[in-house]
Amino acid sequence: MGHGKLKKFAENETFSCLLQPSAEDVLSQGYDNLTDHPVKGRWVEKMFGAHEGDIVLELGCGKGEYTLELARRNPDKNYIGVDIKGARLWRGAKTATEEGLPNVAFLRTRIEFIGAFFGPDEVSEIWLTFSDPQLKASANKRLSSPIFLERYRRFLKHGGLIHLKTDSRFLFEYTHAVASVNGLPILAETTDLYGPGTKDVRQQAAPIDKLPAEVREVQTFYEKMFLDMGLPITYLEFCPDHDGPYVDPRDPEDFDSALWRTMEGPRRSFSHK
């Protein structure tokens, strides 16, 4: 491990806005029976200094630039960026500390463990920004899969929202299919968020031009890079409220994984270098 990473990891220990729980503690009773962290259900009290406001998560936040900018724009809400990479979270936590942002926190953990950190009705929105589409892996590893939606609904408020921004048409189409086969309300969708008129190939669930400005104006590092390359950015907003178990799309008419995998192109490997 390089000296630079060691220095960042040491500084991470000094940031009050960064929570770094022990994986061993979370897994002390096994993977199927995660041990709740003391912060569960108490984020406003323990991490936000009693700063009241809806809690919004960004899962796979990287360096936290999206989390930070949303927090700057919406001081009435509390934002939490979640990632497993400590060296990346260092940048977000350091910026939040330097700017004295009271409504920003970061959580270093695996997203599979997310249920150990948030209680019922504690979270209002989730952002999935340029998540790995897991093209060759099991669908269960995708952050918009039924197994993850089940984890999210245990702590999302009724009527809570999930936002997906991605350069991966494969992940967009998969997530759209998951929402459709489960009857989840799709509030907005487009296959080209910044394109002329932002017209989708489908009937719009809601006028894209009525979305909050932050949907377009707040951009991650990768998003800016893809836009510079002329690549389209997709956006999907849906509500995961659902009775009963979620199901995965199985019928090729719902989601033709082979088709969308072949149309994905090489940009994913480039984006994750």
Residues with catalytic annotation? 132
> Do 105 and 37 contact (CB within 8 A), yes or no?
no
> Do 57 and 124 contact (CB within 8 A), yes or no?
no
> Do 56 and 77 contact (CB within 8 A), yes or no?
yes
Strand 104-108 relative to strand 18-19, pairing: parallel
For residue 83, CA distances in Å to 103, 140, 148, 167, 227 come to: 18, 18, 15, 19, 24
Q: Which two tokens stand for residue 263?
A: 């149309």
Q: Which two tokens stand for residue 58?
A: 């960004």
Concatenating the DSSP letter of every residue in 137-165 gives S-GGGSTTSHHHHHHHHTTEEEEEEEEEE
